[in-house]
A and B are shown apart, each in its own frame.
Chain A
């Protein structure tokens, strides 16, 4: 399957990265990892790219890691449409000190606007 995994440096985005890379190695997915701007993230995009490349190298798959600038939600939806991706994978939400899960505005935009299936990784 042709999979687009969008990550911006939040904890849940790294969980989504690890799970998607593992799955791609088993299922032979055609995986692209899009590193997007997330203004709530404390990790810089360059570091996120490094983490993604390291995760890909570790399982020895042939996945592209791509830096994507601009509005994260709309760019992910646009890339999925123009490049015929079949699934978008995102982090499953931020967990507060209380244990409450909140879904951010990027995930909400993608869920409402994508034509592909969207997976949120818990």
Chain B
């Protein structure tokens, strides 16, 4: 893809998972990173297999178990960062960073039973905290222009619009200073680890 735009300023520090909170429906939710566990992968297959087709965005998640598995194989790979929101043993939501050159593409999904309860905000903050802790510098995403709830969530987090010329808005966020500018200001990006909330 062509060059993408990112804000000059580095984003706030986000809490690295694991984190836990009570959602607006009084459910205990835990955010944990995905670490290659097969059972966890099966929970995600189950979540996406039951995903409301009305909540698909730009072709994902795909429909049908076989295509869901193929898609998960691609985004749960070793060079991707994934976090999952758990309600007991059920996956309630999932967010992912997939490498794309020197940046990462972000996507987030919350199962319909768990939407509008504040889980998305915790989940994306957890993913970005996980990315920050792993020295991810730049994150981009696309979102359908009419998806106001998602666009306002991304703006609240600190994403800025970098391309508004077609159906999808493209937005960017700078998670860590890039190596060149960190060296310039005499800081080490690696030594500057976020403290996190909990």
Chain A positions within 8 Å of B, measured between CB atoms, are 39-40, 94-105, 107-108
Contact of A97 among B59, B98, B167 (CB under 8 A): B98
Closest to A106 in B: B166
List of B residues within 8 angstroms of A94 by Cβ: 1
A102 touches B60 (CB 8 A): no
A103 touches B98 (CB 8 A): no
Considering the chains assembled together, what is the distance between the CA atoms of A107 and B166 in angstroms?
9
Tell yes or no: B100 within 8 A of A by CB: yes
B62 touches A102 (CB 8 A): no
Query: Can you name 19 extra interface pairs (CB under 8 A) apart from A100-B58, A101-B58?
Result: A39-B2, A94-B1, A95-B59, A96-B105, A97-B99, A98-B96, A98-B98, A98-B105, A98-B107, A99-B59, A99-B60, A99-B62, A99-B71, A100-B60, A101-B59, A102-B58, A102-B167, A103-B168, A107-B166
Cross-chain pair count, CB within 8 angstroms: 48
B74 touches A99 (CB 8 A): yes
Tell yes or no: B57 within 8 A of A by CB: yes
How close is A121's CB to chain B, nearest CB, in angstroms?
Answer: 14
A98 touches B60 (CB 8 A): yes
Residue with the highest number of chain B CB atoms closer than 10 Å, among A39, A100, A104: A100
Q: How many residues of B contact A (CB 8 A)?
A: 21
List of B residues within 8 angstroms of A105 by Cβ: 165-166
Say what secondary structure dominates the interface of chain A. loop
- Between A and B, 28 residue pairs with Cβ closer than 8 Å are A39-B2, A40-B1, A94-B1, A96-B1, A96-B105, A97-B98, A97-B99, A97-B105, A98-B60, A98-B96, A98-B98, A98-B105, A98-B107, A99-B59, A99-B60, A99-B62, A99-B74, A100-B57, A100-B58, A100-B105, A100-B142, A102-B58, A102-B167, A102-B168, A103-B168, A105-B166, A107-B166, A108-B167
Tell yes or no: B75 within 8 A of A by CB: yes
Closest to A100 in B: B58
List of A residues within 8 angstroms of B59 by Cβ: 95, 99-101
Closest to A92 in B: B59
Closest to A103 in B: B167
Closest to A108 in B: B166
How close is A44's CB to chain B, nearest CB, in angstroms?
Answer: 16
Query: Contacts A40-B1, A40-B2 known; A100 to B107 CB distance under 8 Å?
Result: yes
A96 touches B100 (CB 8 A): yes
List of B residues within 8 angstroms of A104 by Cβ: 166
How close is A42's CB to chain B, nearest CB, in angstroms?
Answer: 10
Considering the chains assembled together, what is the distance between the CA atoms of A102 and B128 in angstroms?
23
List of B residues within 8 angstroms of A103 by Cβ: 166-168
Closest to B101 in A: A97
List of A residues within 8 angstroms of B57 by Cβ: 100
How close is A60's CB to chain B, nearest CB, in angstroms?
Answer: 35
B2 touches A102 (CB 8 A): no
